[in-house]
Chain A
Amino acid sequence: MQKIIACLKIVFPECDPATITSDTTLGDVPGWDSMNSVNFLLELEVAFSVGLLDETVTAQQRVSDVAELLRAKGAEV
Protein backbone atom coordinates (compact mmCIF):
# COMPACT_ATOMS: atom_id res chain seq x y z
CA MET A 1 0.00 0.00 0.00
CA GLN A 2 2.88 2.36 0.75
CA LYS A 3 4.09 2.15 -2.85
CA ILE A 4 0.66 3.21 -4.11
CA ILE A 5 0.65 6.12 -1.69
CA ALA A 6 4.16 7.05 -2.84
CA CYS A 7 2.88 7.15 -6.43
CA LEU A 8 0.03 9.42 -5.36
CA LYS A 9 2.53 11.74 -3.66
CA ILE A 10 4.63 11.97 -6.83
CA VAL A 11 1.67 12.86 -9.06
CA PHE A 12 -0.18 14.94 -6.48
CA PRO A 13 2.57 16.67 -4.47
CA GLU A 14 0.04 18.54 -2.33
CA CYS A 15 -1.39 15.37 -0.79
CA ASP A 16 -0.29 14.38 2.70
CA PRO A 17 0.65 10.68 2.67
CA ALA A 18 -0.26 10.42 6.36
CA THR A 19 -3.90 11.10 5.51
CA ILE A 20 -4.14 8.47 2.75
CA THR A 21 -5.59 5.07 3.69
CA SER A 22 -6.95 2.15 1.71
CA ASP A 23 -10.42 3.67 2.13
CA THR A 24 -9.44 7.05 0.67
CA THR A 25 -11.47 7.92 -2.42
CA LEU A 26 -9.16 9.00 -5.25
CA GLY A 27 -11.30 12.03 -6.04
CA ASP A 28 -10.56 13.31 -2.52
CA VAL A 29 -6.80 13.40 -3.14
CA PRO A 30 -5.81 17.09 -3.45
CA GLY A 31 -5.21 17.98 -7.10
CA TRP A 32 -6.98 14.91 -8.48
CA ASP A 33 -8.44 15.33 -11.97
CA SER A 34 -9.00 13.07 -14.93
CA MET A 35 -5.81 14.26 -16.65
CA ASN A 36 -3.60 13.54 -13.67
CA SER A 37 -5.33 10.19 -13.16
CA VAL A 38 -3.52 9.11 -16.34
CA ASN A 39 -0.22 10.24 -14.83
CA PHE A 40 -1.04 8.19 -11.73
CA LEU A 41 -1.53 5.09 -13.91
CA LEU A 42 1.79 5.73 -15.65
CA GLU A 43 3.52 6.11 -12.27
CA LEU A 44 1.99 2.83 -11.05
CA GLU A 45 3.23 1.09 -14.19
CA VAL A 46 6.81 2.05 -13.42
CA ALA A 47 6.58 1.38 -9.68
CA PHE A 48 4.97 -2.08 -10.01
CA SER A 49 6.38 -3.11 -13.42
CA VAL A 50 2.96 -3.96 -14.82
CA GLY A 51 1.14 -2.89 -17.99
CA LEU A 52 -1.78 -0.57 -17.28
CA LEU A 53 -2.18 1.19 -20.63
CA ASP A 54 -5.63 -0.37 -21.14
CA GLU A 55 -6.85 0.50 -17.65
CA THR A 56 -8.50 3.55 -16.14
CA VAL A 57 -8.87 4.77 -12.59
CA THR A 58 -11.68 7.10 -11.66
CA ALA A 59 -12.40 9.65 -8.95
CA GLN A 60 -15.01 7.31 -7.46
CA GLN A 61 -12.56 4.47 -6.84
CA ARG A 62 -10.70 3.95 -3.56
CA VAL A 63 -7.04 3.24 -2.97
CA SER A 64 -8.01 -0.35 -2.16
CA ASP A 65 -9.54 -0.65 -5.66
CA VAL A 66 -6.17 0.35 -7.11
CA ALA A 67 -4.47 -2.32 -5.00
CA GLU A 68 -6.94 -4.88 -6.29
CA LEU A 69 -6.29 -3.83 -9.90
CA LEU A 70 -2.55 -4.20 -9.37
CA ARG A 71 -2.92 -7.62 -7.76
CA ALA A 72 -5.05 -8.73 -10.72
CA LYS A 73 -2.10 -7.75 -12.92
CA GLY A 74 0.20 -9.93 -10.86
CA ALA A 75 1.85 -7.18 -8.84
CA GLU A 76 2.78 -7.55 -5.20
CA VAL A 77 1.03 -4.85 -3.21
Chain B
Amino acid sequence: MIAHLRGTGSYLPSKEVLNRDLKQFPASALPLIEQKTGITARRYAADDECTSDLAAQAARACLLQAGLAAEDVEGIILATSSPDRMQPATATRVQALLGAKNAFAFDVNSVCSGGVYALETGNAFIKAGLLRNVLVVASEVYSRILNPADFSTCPYFGDGAGAVLLEAAADGSSGIMGTILRADGTGHDVIQVPCGGTMKPYIRLQAQREQYFTMKGREVYEFAVTRAPEVIRELMSATGLTPEGISWVVPHQANLNVIHAISDAVGIPRERFVTNLQKYGNTAGASVFIALDELCRSGVQMSGRVVMLVAFGGGLSWAASAIRF
Protein backbone atom coordinates (compact mmCIF):
# COMPACT_ATOMS: atom_id res chain seq x y z
CA MET B 1 0.00 0.00 0.00
CA ILE B 2 1.08 3.56 -0.65
CA ALA B 3 -0.49 6.73 0.73
CA HIS B 4 -1.50 9.27 -1.87
CA LEU B 5 -2.90 12.74 -1.31
CA ARG B 6 -6.60 12.73 -2.14
CA GLY B 7 -7.17 16.33 -1.04
CA THR B 8 -5.78 19.39 0.70
CA GLY B 9 -7.34 22.32 2.53
CA SER B 10 -6.41 25.35 4.56
CA TYR B 11 -7.94 28.08 6.64
CA LEU B 12 -6.60 31.49 7.58
CA PRO B 13 -8.53 33.70 10.01
CA SER B 14 -9.87 36.88 8.43
CA LYS B 15 -8.19 39.34 10.82
CA GLU B 16 -5.10 40.65 9.06
CA VAL B 17 -2.43 42.42 11.11
CA LEU B 18 0.07 44.45 9.11
CA ASN B 19 3.55 45.31 10.37
CA ARG B 20 2.49 48.91 10.91
CA ASP B 21 -0.34 47.69 13.15
CA LEU B 22 2.19 46.43 15.73
CA LYS B 23 2.12 49.76 17.51
CA GLN B 24 3.60 48.42 20.74
CA PHE B 25 7.03 48.51 19.05
CA PRO B 26 9.09 51.56 18.02
CA ALA B 27 8.09 52.74 14.53
CA SER B 28 11.78 52.90 13.67
CA ALA B 29 12.10 49.15 14.33
CA LEU B 30 9.16 47.99 12.20
CA PRO B 31 11.08 47.95 8.87
CA LEU B 32 13.38 45.36 10.46
CA ILE B 33 10.55 42.82 10.35
CA GLU B 34 10.40 42.72 6.56
CA GLN B 35 14.16 43.17 6.16
CA LYS B 36 15.00 40.25 8.44
CA THR B 37 12.19 37.85 7.52
CA GLY B 38 10.21 39.01 4.48
CA ILE B 39 7.01 39.14 6.56
CA THR B 40 4.63 42.05 5.90
CA ALA B 41 1.44 40.73 7.53
CA ARG B 42 -0.01 37.87 9.53
CA ARG B 43 -3.48 36.62 10.46
CA TYR B 44 -4.83 36.41 14.01
CA ALA B 45 -7.69 34.20 15.14
CA ALA B 46 -10.86 35.92 16.32
CA ASP B 47 -11.46 36.00 20.06
CA ASP B 48 -13.96 33.15 19.78
CA GLU B 49 -11.72 30.95 17.64
CA CYS B 50 -9.19 28.47 19.04
CA THR B 51 -6.87 25.93 17.48
CA SER B 52 -9.53 23.26 16.95
CA ASP B 53 -11.83 25.77 15.21
CA LEU B 54 -9.14 26.64 12.67
CA ALA B 55 -8.30 22.95 12.25
CA ALA B 56 -11.94 22.05 11.59
CA GLN B 57 -12.26 24.76 8.94
CA ALA B 58 -9.15 23.51 7.12
CA ALA B 59 -10.34 19.91 7.44
CA ARG B 60 -13.77 20.77 6.00
CA ALA B 61 -12.13 22.44 2.99
CA CYS B 62 -9.98 19.35 2.51
CA LEU B 63 -12.87 16.89 2.75
CA LEU B 64 -14.96 19.01 0.40
CA GLN B 65 -12.21 18.98 -2.20
CA ALA B 66 -11.68 15.24 -1.74
CA GLY B 67 -15.40 14.48 -1.88
CA LEU B 68 -15.29 12.42 1.31
CA ALA B 69 -17.96 12.55 4.00
CA ALA B 70 -16.73 13.22 7.55
CA GLU B 71 -18.22 9.97 8.84
CA ASP B 72 -16.03 8.04 6.38
CA VAL B 73 -12.80 9.44 7.87
CA GLU B 74 -11.01 6.64 9.75
CA GLY B 75 -8.39 8.63 11.65
CA ILE B 76 -7.56 12.23 12.53
CA ILE B 77 -4.01 13.23 13.41
CA LEU B 78 -3.56 16.84 14.44
CA ALA B 79 -0.18 18.56 14.59
CA THR B 80 -0.17 21.47 16.98
CA SER B 81 2.17 23.16 19.44
CA SER B 82 -0.52 25.61 20.55
CA PRO B 83 -3.30 23.24 21.65
CA ASP B 84 -6.73 24.28 22.90
CA ARG B 85 -5.88 22.95 26.34
CA MET B 86 -3.17 20.84 27.97
CA GLN B 87 -5.74 18.02 27.97
CA PRO B 88 -7.48 16.47 26.11
CA ALA B 89 -6.00 16.12 22.63
CA THR B 90 -7.18 19.04 20.50
CA ALA B 91 -7.85 16.52 17.72
CA THR B 92 -10.82 15.17 19.66
CA ARG B 93 -12.68 18.49 19.44
CA VAL B 94 -11.85 18.60 15.72
CA GLN B 95 -13.44 15.16 15.39
CA ALA B 96 -16.57 16.42 17.15
CA LEU B 97 -16.75 19.63 15.10
CA LEU B 98 -16.49 17.62 11.87
CA GLY B 99 -18.88 14.91 12.97
CA ALA B 100 -16.22 12.34 12.08
CA LYS B 101 -17.68 9.90 14.58
CA ASN B 102 -15.88 6.84 13.19
CA ALA B 103 -12.38 8.34 13.35
CA PHE B 104 -9.87 8.01 16.15
CA ALA B 105 -8.17 11.31 17.00
CA PHE B 106 -4.90 12.29 18.61
CA ASP B 107 -2.30 15.07 18.59
CA VAL B 108 1.33 15.24 17.50
CA ASN B 109 3.58 18.01 18.83
CA SER B 110 6.81 18.56 16.97
CA VAL B 111 6.43 22.34 16.92
CA CYS B 112 7.23 23.71 13.44
CA SER B 113 8.07 20.24 12.09
CA GLY B 114 4.68 18.99 13.30
CA GLY B 115 2.93 18.91 9.94
CA VAL B 116 5.53 16.66 8.34
CA TYR B 117 5.79 14.48 11.47
CA ALA B 118 2.01 14.02 11.49
CA LEU B 119 1.99 13.30 7.77
CA GLU B 120 4.51 10.50 8.24
CA THR B 121 2.52 9.14 11.18
CA GLY B 122 -0.56 8.95 8.93
CA ASN B 123 1.54 7.45 6.16
CA ALA B 124 2.68 4.69 8.51
CA PHE B 125 -0.93 3.72 9.30
CA ILE B 126 -1.69 3.51 5.57
CA LYS B 127 1.45 1.59 4.66
CA ALA B 128 0.78 -0.89 7.45
CA GLY B 129 -2.64 -1.56 5.97
CA LEU B 130 -4.41 -0.40 9.14
CA LEU B 131 -6.42 2.43 7.56
CA ARG B 132 -7.93 3.26 4.18
CA ASN B 133 -7.72 6.96 4.86
CA VAL B 134 -6.46 9.40 7.46
CA LEU B 135 -7.05 13.10 7.81
CA VAL B 136 -3.84 14.88 8.79
CA VAL B 137 -4.37 18.41 10.06
CA ALA B 138 -1.95 21.05 11.36
CA SER B 139 -3.29 24.04 13.24
CA GLU B 140 -1.70 26.80 15.29
CA VAL B 141 -2.89 29.86 17.18
CA TYR B 142 0.41 31.39 18.19
CA SER B 143 -1.17 34.79 18.78
CA ARG B 144 -2.28 33.37 22.16
CA ILE B 145 1.19 32.19 23.26
CA LEU B 146 3.29 35.11 21.97
CA ASN B 147 4.58 37.82 24.28
CA PRO B 148 3.11 40.97 22.71
CA ALA B 149 6.07 42.97 24.07
CA ASP B 150 8.77 40.70 22.60
CA PHE B 151 10.08 42.02 19.31
CA SER B 152 12.21 38.92 18.78
CA THR B 153 9.12 36.67 18.46
CA CYS B 154 5.80 38.53 18.29
CA PRO B 155 6.07 40.02 14.78
CA TYR B 156 7.02 36.76 13.11
CA PHE B 157 4.16 34.41 13.85
CA GLY B 158 0.57 34.15 12.71
CA ASP B 159 -2.39 31.82 13.06
CA GLY B 160 -3.63 29.31 10.51
CA ALA B 161 -4.40 25.68 9.68
CA GLY B 162 -3.88 23.24 6.85
CA ALA B 163 -5.06 19.72 6.13
CA VAL B 164 -4.20 16.76 3.92
CA LEU B 165 -6.32 13.67 3.30
CA LEU B 166 -4.20 10.56 2.81
CA GLU B 167 -5.79 7.57 1.10
CA ALA B 168 -4.46 4.07 0.56
CA ALA B 169 -3.75 3.04 -3.01
CA ALA B 170 -2.31 -0.14 -4.46
CA ASP B 171 -0.91 1.72 -7.46
CA GLY B 172 2.52 3.12 -6.64
CA SER B 173 2.70 5.72 -9.42
CA SER B 174 1.81 8.56 -7.05
CA GLY B 175 1.95 9.15 -3.33
CA ILE B 176 4.48 9.62 -0.55
CA MET B 177 7.83 8.46 -1.95
CA GLY B 178 9.79 8.78 1.27
CA THR B 179 10.10 10.72 4.49
CA ILE B 180 12.90 11.40 6.93
CA LEU B 181 12.25 12.51 10.52
CA ARG B 182 15.11 13.79 12.66
CA ALA B 183 15.50 15.28 16.16
CA ASP B 184 18.25 16.58 18.44
CA GLY B 185 16.92 16.81 21.96
CA THR B 186 20.07 18.48 23.25
CA GLY B 187 18.49 21.63 21.80
CA HIS B 188 15.23 21.19 23.73
CA ASP B 189 15.45 24.68 25.24
CA VAL B 190 16.28 26.60 22.06
CA ILE B 191 12.57 27.01 21.27
CA GLN B 192 10.14 26.68 24.16
CA VAL B 193 7.21 27.86 26.21
CA PRO B 194 8.92 27.64 29.61
CA CYS B 195 5.89 27.58 31.89
CA GLY B 196 2.66 25.61 31.98
CA GLY B 197 3.96 22.06 31.86
CA THR B 198 5.23 19.70 34.55
CA MET B 199 8.78 21.11 34.40
CA LYS B 200 7.47 24.49 35.55
CA PRO B 201 3.78 24.56 36.40
CA TYR B 202 2.01 27.92 36.49
CA ILE B 203 2.11 27.92 40.29
CA ARG B 204 5.89 28.38 40.01
CA LEU B 205 5.64 31.24 37.51
CA GLN B 206 8.33 33.79 38.41
CA ALA B 207 7.89 36.31 35.60
CA GLN B 208 5.01 36.87 33.21
CA ARG B 209 7.28 36.31 30.22
CA GLU B 210 7.75 32.65 31.19
CA GLN B 211 4.23 31.83 30.01
CA TYR B 212 5.11 32.90 26.47
CA PHE B 213 6.90 31.37 23.51
CA THR B 214 10.64 32.07 23.37
CA MET B 215 13.40 31.22 20.95
CA LYS B 216 17.11 31.83 20.61
CA GLY B 217 17.15 33.52 17.24
CA ARG B 218 20.76 33.05 16.23
CA GLU B 219 20.79 29.38 17.20
CA VAL B 220 17.55 28.73 15.35
CA TYR B 221 18.94 30.37 12.22
CA GLU B 222 22.15 28.30 12.29
CA PHE B 223 20.16 25.14 12.96
CA ALA B 224 17.72 25.78 10.11
CA VAL B 225 20.27 26.63 7.42
CA THR B 226 22.31 23.53 8.36
CA ARG B 227 19.71 20.85 9.00
CA ALA B 228 17.16 21.67 6.29
CA PRO B 229 19.62 21.36 3.37
CA GLU B 230 21.07 18.25 5.02
CA VAL B 231 17.72 16.45 5.21
CA ILE B 232 16.76 17.50 1.66
CA ARG B 233 20.01 16.00 0.35
CA GLU B 234 19.51 12.88 2.44
CA LEU B 235 15.98 12.40 1.11
CA MET B 236 17.06 13.03 -2.48
CA SER B 237 19.67 10.33 -2.04
CA ALA B 238 17.20 7.89 -0.45
CA THR B 239 14.56 8.38 -3.15
CA GLY B 240 16.85 8.79 -6.16
CA LEU B 241 15.57 12.31 -6.78
CA THR B 242 17.75 15.06 -8.26
CA PRO B 243 17.23 18.82 -7.88
CA GLU B 244 15.90 18.84 -11.46
CA GLY B 245 13.33 16.16 -10.58
CA ILE B 246 11.74 18.23 -7.83
CA SER B 247 9.13 20.60 -9.21
CA TRP B 248 8.55 22.47 -5.96
CA VAL B 249 9.95 22.60 -2.48
CA VAL B 250 7.38 23.56 0.15
CA PRO B 251 9.47 24.72 3.10
CA HIS B 252 8.44 25.68 6.59
CA GLN B 253 7.56 29.37 6.29
CA ALA B 254 9.92 30.67 8.97
CA ASN B 255 11.94 33.35 7.28
CA LEU B 256 12.59 34.30 3.65
CA ASN B 257 16.32 34.65 4.26
CA VAL B 258 16.44 31.13 5.70
CA ILE B 259 14.53 29.79 2.69
CA HIS B 260 16.93 31.51 0.29
CA ALA B 261 19.90 30.04 2.17
CA ILE B 262 18.36 26.55 1.89
CA SER B 263 17.75 27.06 -1.83
CA ASP B 264 21.35 28.12 -2.41
CA ALA B 265 22.69 25.21 -0.37
CA VAL B 266 20.79 22.47 -2.21
CA GLY B 267 20.99 23.96 -5.71
CA ILE B 268 17.24 24.18 -6.28
CA PRO B 269 16.30 27.63 -7.67
CA ARG B 270 14.48 30.02 -5.35
CA GLU B 271 11.53 30.27 -7.75
CA ARG B 272 10.77 26.60 -7.08
CA PHE B 273 10.43 27.26 -3.34
CA VAL B 274 6.79 28.00 -2.46
CA THR B 275 6.45 30.93 -0.08
CA ASN B 276 3.50 32.68 1.51
CA LEU B 277 5.08 33.89 4.75
CA GLN B 278 4.99 37.41 3.35
CA LYS B 279 1.23 37.54 3.96
CA TYR B 280 0.72 34.96 6.74
CA GLY B 281 3.94 35.10 8.79
CA ASN B 282 5.21 31.90 10.37
CA THR B 283 2.26 29.63 11.16
CA ALA B 284 4.55 27.09 12.87
CA GLY B 285 3.51 23.45 12.34
CA ALA B 286 0.72 24.47 9.96
CA SER B 287 2.84 26.44 7.51
CA VAL B 288 3.83 23.58 5.22
CA PHE B 289 0.25 22.35 4.78
CA ILE B 290 -1.08 25.86 4.14
CA ALA B 291 1.57 26.49 1.47
CA LEU B 292 0.98 23.04 -0.06
CA ASP B 293 -2.75 23.70 -0.27
CA GLU B 294 -2.18 27.07 -1.92
CA LEU B 295 0.14 25.41 -4.45
CA CYS B 296 -2.40 22.67 -5.22
CA ARG B 297 -5.20 25.23 -5.67
CA SER B 298 -3.11 27.67 -7.71
CA GLY B 299 -4.02 26.02 -10.99
CA VAL B 300 -0.57 24.64 -11.77
CA GLN B 301 -0.37 21.15 -13.23
CA MET B 302 0.32 18.84 -10.27
CA SER B 303 -0.16 15.40 -11.85
CA GLY B 304 3.13 13.55 -12.10
CA ARG B 305 5.05 16.34 -10.37
CA VAL B 306 7.20 15.82 -7.29
CA VAL B 307 6.91 18.13 -4.28
CA MET B 308 9.33 18.05 -1.37
CA LEU B 309 8.16 19.27 2.01
CA VAL B 310 10.83 20.36 4.47
CA ALA B 311 10.28 21.60 8.01
CA PHE B 312 12.40 22.47 11.03
CA GLY B 313 11.69 23.76 14.50
CA GLY B 314 11.48 23.19 18.22
CA GLY B 315 12.84 20.04 19.77
CA LEU B 316 15.03 20.57 17.91
CA SER B 317 13.31 18.64 15.14
CA TRP B 318 13.45 18.61 11.38
CA ALA B 319 11.92 16.52 8.61
CA ALA B 320 11.39 16.17 4.88
CA SER B 321 8.91 14.26 2.76
CA ALA B 322 8.82 13.68 -1.01
CA ILE B 323 5.42 13.31 -2.65
CA ARG B 324 4.62 12.46 -6.26
CA PHE B 325 1.24 13.79 -7.37
Contacts and interface: CB of A to CB of B under 8 A. Distances in A.
Contacts of B28: 53-56
A42 B27 contact: no
Interface of B: 25-29, 32, 36, 149-152, 216-218
27 contacts: A31-B216, A31-B218, A33-B152, A33-B217, A34-B32, A34-B36, A35-B36, A35-B152, A36-B152, A36-B217, A38-B26, A38-B32, A38-B151, A38-B152, A39-B149, A39-B150, A39-B151, A39-B152, A41-B29, A42-B149, A52-B26, A53-B27, A53-B28, A54-B27, A55-B26, A56-B26, A56-B28
Contact of A35 (B26, B27, B149, B151): B151
Contacts of A34: 32, 36
Contact of B26 (A31, A33, A36, A53): A53
Interface in A24-62: 31, 33-36, 38-39, 41-42, 52-56
Contacts of B152: 33, 35-36, 38-39
A54 B150 CA distance: 17
A36 B32 CA distance: 11
Interface residues of A, number: 14
A67 B77 CA distance: 53
Given A33-B152, A38-B152, 7 more contacts: A31-B216, A33-B218, A35-B36, A36-B151, A39-B149, A42-B25, A55-B26
B25 to A, nearest CB: 6
B175 to A, nearest CB: 41
Contacts of A41: 26, 29
A59 B149 CA distance: 21
B255 to A, nearest CB: 11
Nearest to A54: B28
Contacts of A36: 151-152, 217
Contacts of B36: 34-35
A64 B199 CA distance: 39
A50 to B, nearest CB: 13
Given A53-B27, A56-B29, A42 B151 contact: yes
Given A42-B149, A42-B151, A35 B217 contact: yes
Contacts of A52: 26
Contacts of A31: 216-218
A5 to B, nearest CB: 18
